[in-house]
Chains A and B, each alone.
Chain A
């Protein structure tokens, strides 16, 4: 993932609207061979979530256990660090989903 401070700043303004929104996990996978910059987090689950607002999102699951990985699991959108800070010391944040 290529990030720049300006891009992160633009995205961040939209992301905050999702914090605390609840939804339902539809499908998930466990990424075991991650892309660059995600190696320290793997393996991690990523799922498709239908929010209560009807909006569909894709995001990582956090604070999860094996039993949370089932279709229909209730989740809530939380703001979390996405990868490590880049060489300009900007930490990219984004939406992840926490089982309820």
Chain B
């Protein structure tokens, strides 16, 4: 069965105090729908990726909330929550519903409103993705990834400057993205002198708190999949312990590794076949672990490959995070997984505008992680060419 993206869009990402989550959802959905060329009456179900609607907005029952707002009621609507992988998990479930033969065309919305609340409240709310013991220790998500950074640096002999290179690359990519939260470039020195958040991670090693929405319309209907579209050839999810300290490795995420392995097998592809990827760089260290878990780099070589330009537009073979990633484009947690699919769609279609980082690319990949690696999704996309 060919399941393809027929429309894809995001809102601007950033500190959007003048926009409500309803408005962001509507903007993303209406743009994606207009692009698909179908009418909303063809949308048979809605899958929503959202993490913090309850904790920060005191709004649960989110499937119905957005179905109503988008004018889709009475279609079935579901909210999928998997921390920062909510978007990827929503996409996975939408795909499964089509594969099950229940629907042919569905909408996947990723949405998060984070900046209305204060920083300490957001940090606490995000810790809902961790374990009870982690919450009791007073650790934060930057803190958990800082522990991984320390393990990675000590195991493979890297310095803080090597981590900083991730932020330098992703801000460079983000500088081409009109919808990115941050369009400025940074240097290693800028990262090194930014304020310490959780040693060894500094402010510029961390993705920001962001508002934003993203939407993809997917379909298996051959009559509406145009010749020029993008097919989803693999959608896999892996899980692991909620708590970081219970895992066998602190320098690799087994949930992502396992989902990746299954996705490659399902698609009949290898890491070397991937032209462009959006990976979950919530912190600089996370991108280094991601490129190793996905097989773009050998174990322990992620940081040195990145420094050599292997993942940078204009230089590398596999371009990683052409949108600027979570780091520069922004990280509205439940929207991120869907935004990654939108970005890969645009890169493969050649419609990414200034941020277009690959030419005639055939294969793209999206890697979305929840918690400190308790859940991960890997999607592989292929340019349709009937």
Contact = CB atoms under 8 A, between A and B. Distances in A.
B354 interface: no
Contact of A27 (B124, B135, B140, B250): B250
Contacts of A38: 138
Contacts of B133: 57-59
Interface in B87-138: 119-121, 123-124, 127, 132-138
Interface string A44-75: 10111000000011111000000000010000
Contacts of A47: 147
A58 B120 contact: no
A30 B147 contact: no
Given A1-B135, A58-B244, A94-B136, A31 B127 contact: no
Contact of B124 (A35, A48, A71): A35
A26 B250 CA distance: 11
Nearest to B250: A27
Contact of B198 (A32, A39, A71, A82): A32
Contacts of B142: 31, 33
A41 B132 CA distance: 19
A64 B199 CA distance: 16
B245 A48 contact: yes
Residue among A34, A35, A60, A92 with max Cβ neighbours from chain B (10 Å) = A35
Nearest to A97: B137
Contacts of B198: 29-33
B209 to A, nearest CB: 11
A36 interface: yes
Interface string A68-100: 000100000000001000000000101000000
A85 to B, nearest CB: 15
B139 A29 contact: yes
A48 B199 contact: no
Nearest to A48: B245
A40 B151 CA distance: 28
B299 interface: no
Given A35-B120, A37-B124, A48 B244 contact: yes
Q: Which 10 A-B pairs have the closest CB atoms?
A: A29-B146, A36-B124, A35-B124, A35-B123, A38-B138, A36-B120, A46-B139, A56-B245, A58-B245, A30-B199
Interface of A: 1, 11, 26-39, 41-42, 44, 46-48, 56-60, 71, 82, 92, 94
14 contacts: A1-B136, A27-B147, A27-B154, A27-B250, A29-B198, A31-B139, A32-B199, A33-B197, A35-B135, A35-B140, A39-B120, A44-B138, A46-B138, A59-B137
Interface of B: 119-121, 123-124, 127, 132-140, 142-143, 146-147, 150-151, 154, 195-201, 243-246, 250
Given A1-B136, A31-B142, 11 more contacts: A28-B147, A28-B150, A29-B147, A32-B199, A33-B140, A35-B124, A38-B138, A41-B138, A46-B137, A48-B147, A59-B136
